[in-house]
């Protein structure tokens, strides 16, 4: 298994395209993208847990109920959430893609990202979708078109083997602010040429997202539009994966490499972030949080069980005070314990060890729940790095979890203070 170029076009038979259709105020930024498979795909998706779901989410949930799809259309600049004519406009967007790509409307995944509560200018999509040039190897254009407050393109592809055949899986995603478990303003589109049934695809995706995208937090807000969708067209020529076994394990390992990489990129680029700080929860999305300057990776080990470790880890990563301390390179370990204390998870407060780490070194700041004398200059140097780890060790069991997040900076407030303008 190895990382390759190509994003969503790395797998055989997938094209992508992007165009500026006029949804966004920008006169230069592309705001509409499409992805197309040469043949019908097995398909699966996971969606936002927010009770308020955008119209594209509701339509896609219906379209994917049979586990099949061929195309994706996604616009940026308008979320089509809580907006007039929401479902009607989502259907019109799907029909625009269907006409342009010569597929059935029911085989189209629809996604939107942007401002909530405003009517989608679907006429712009209908006018321009047909003129979009769909090309193999065009993943980067699609990745750029789905960005909103993102500052970096997030894409990856992996090559692996199944049934002795070379298979490929790749993805693009956007996510910067409103990122909080479970999934938040996060759109991810993954394609593979591995032949796999929709049932096994759904099983693999749901299990994987729980340990990647759902362990990223930027700002504690969960969006109305989150979606992670995967299409598998089977063009690698392997025998279809229809049950657990070595080929399913190989697929799951490749999928995990893709989603973990994208998740980390989101955390590192969080809104207002300036550094990437390690609170081991999820990585690429964390790294790209709105305004983020640091990626945090937080790892909790030795907890009673995995659920307890995850609860503690997410609480640390979500803490505004922990994020602010990371921004200021302040080894304020008391905020870590505080976040653990209000997490609702049970743990022995007198068996907690906390350390900060980065490429500059490691410093233990708390042991058995009590502060230690430590080198403040070394601690600051460690926390000054773009990627920082917060490692928490307990002595209660085998529960180990890593989550990702980012620091909280002045820029986050600036970005979100005038988001609509």
Between the ranges 24-33, 73-82, 289-298, where is the mean pLDDT highest?
73-82
Instruction: Determine the 3-state secondary structure of 214 from DSSP.
Output: helix
Mean pLDDT, range 81-96, rounded to an integer:
95
Mean pLDDT, range 350-379, rounded to an integer:
95
Percentage of the chain lying above the pLDDT 90 cut? 67
Residue 392 in contact with residue 336, Cβ under 8 Å?
Answer: yes
Residue 260: pLDDT over 70: yes
How far is the C-alpha of 383 from the C-alpha of 127, rounded, in Å? 50
How far is the C-alpha of 195 from the C-alpha of 198, rounded, in Å? 10
Q: Among 7-11, 53-57, 210-214, 220-224, which is the least confidently predicted range?
A: 220-224
For 97, 325, 420, the CA distances from 294, given in Å and listed in that order, are: 38, 11, 26
H helix intervals, 102-245: 122-128, 139-145, 198-211
pLDDT at residue 210, as a whole number? 83
Residue 356 in contact with residue 362, Cβ under 8 Å?
Answer: yes
Torsion of CA 301, 302, 303, 306, to 10 degrees: 60
pLDDT, tens digit (0-9, with 9 covering 90-100), for 276-314: 333 332 344 444 444 557 888 999 999 999 999 999 998
Residue 275: pLDDT over 70: no
List the catalytic residues: 185
Q: Among 156-165, 196-205, 343-352, which is the least confidently predicted range?
A: 343-352
Question: In whole numbers, what is the pLDDT of the chain averaged over residues?
Answer: 87
Beta strands, E only, 320-375: 353-358, 361-367, 370-371
| Both structure tokens of 237 | 């020529």
How many residues comprise the chain? 421
Residue 86: pLDDT over 60: yes
Mean pLDDT, range 37-48, rounded to an integer:
95
- Considering only CA atoms, give the Rg of the chain: 21
61 Cβ neighbours under 8 A, 6+ residues apart: 45, 47
Residue 146 per-residue DSSP state: T
pLDDT at residue 410, as a whole number? 65
How far is the C-alpha of 199 from the C-alpha of 202, rounded, in Å? 5
- Of 145, 193, 207, the residue nearest 18 (C-alpha): 145
Domains and CATH numbers, the chain: 2-263 (3.60.70.12), 269-417 (3.10.20.340)
pLDDT, tens digit (0-9, with 9 covering 90-100), for 311-345: 999 899 888 899 889 999 999 999 999 999 999 99
What pTM was estimated for this model as a whole?
0.72
pLDDT, tens digit (0-9, with 9 covering 90-100), for 104-133: 999 999 999 888 888 999 999 999 999 999
């Amino acid at each position: 298994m190895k990382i390759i170029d190509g994003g969503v076009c790395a797998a055989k038979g997938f094209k992508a395209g992007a165009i500026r259709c006029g949804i966004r105020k920008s006169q230069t930024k592309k705001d509409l993208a499409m992805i197309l498979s040469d043949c019908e795909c097995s398909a699966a998706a996971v969606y936002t847990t927010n009770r308020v779901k955008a119209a594209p989410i509701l339509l896609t949930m219906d379209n994917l109920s049979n586990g099949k799809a061929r195309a994706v259309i996604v616009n940026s600049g308008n979320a089509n959430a809580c907006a007039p004519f929401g479902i009607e406009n989502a259907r019109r967007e799907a029909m625009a893609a269907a006409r342009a790509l010569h597929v059935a409307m029911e085989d189209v995944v629809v996604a939107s990202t942007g401002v909530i509560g405003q009517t989608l200018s679907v006429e712009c999509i209908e006018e321009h979708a047909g003129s979009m040039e769909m090309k193999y190897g065009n993943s980067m254009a699609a990745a750029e078109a789905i960005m909103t407050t993102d500052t970096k393109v997030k894409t990856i592809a992996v090559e692996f083997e199944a049934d002795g055949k070379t298979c490929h899986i790749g993805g693009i995603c956007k996510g910067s602010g409103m990122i909080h478990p479970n999934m938040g303003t996060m759109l991810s589109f993954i394609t593979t040429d591995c032949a796999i049934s929709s049932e096994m695809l759904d099983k693999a995706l749901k299990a994987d997202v729980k340990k990647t995208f759902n362990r990223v937090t930027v700002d504690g807000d969960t969006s109305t539009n989150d979606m992670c969708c995967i299409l598998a067209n089977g063009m690698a020529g392997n025998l279809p994966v229809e049950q657990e076994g070595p080929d399913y394990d190989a697929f799951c390992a490749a999928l995990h490499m893709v989603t973990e990489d994208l998740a980390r990129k989101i955390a590192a680029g969080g809104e207002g972030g300036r550094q990437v700080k390690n609170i081991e929860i999820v990585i690429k999305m964390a790294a790209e949080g709105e305004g983020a300057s640091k990626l945090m990776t937080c790892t909790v080990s030795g907890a009673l069980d995995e659920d307890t470790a995850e609860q503690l880890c997410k609480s640390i990563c979500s803490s505004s005070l922990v994020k602010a301390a990371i921004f200021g390179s302040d080894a304020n370990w008391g905020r870590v314990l505080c976040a653990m204390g209000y997490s609702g998870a049970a743990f022995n407060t007198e068996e907690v060890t906390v350390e900060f780490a980065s490429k500059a070194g490691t410093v233990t700041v708390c042991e058995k729940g009590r502060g230690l004398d430590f080198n403040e200059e070394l601690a600051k140097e460690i926390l000054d790095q773009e990627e920082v780890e917060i490692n928490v060790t307990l002595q209660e069991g085998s529960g180990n979890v890593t989550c990702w997040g980012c620091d909280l900076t002045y820029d986050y407030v600036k970005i979100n203070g005038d988001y609509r303008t």
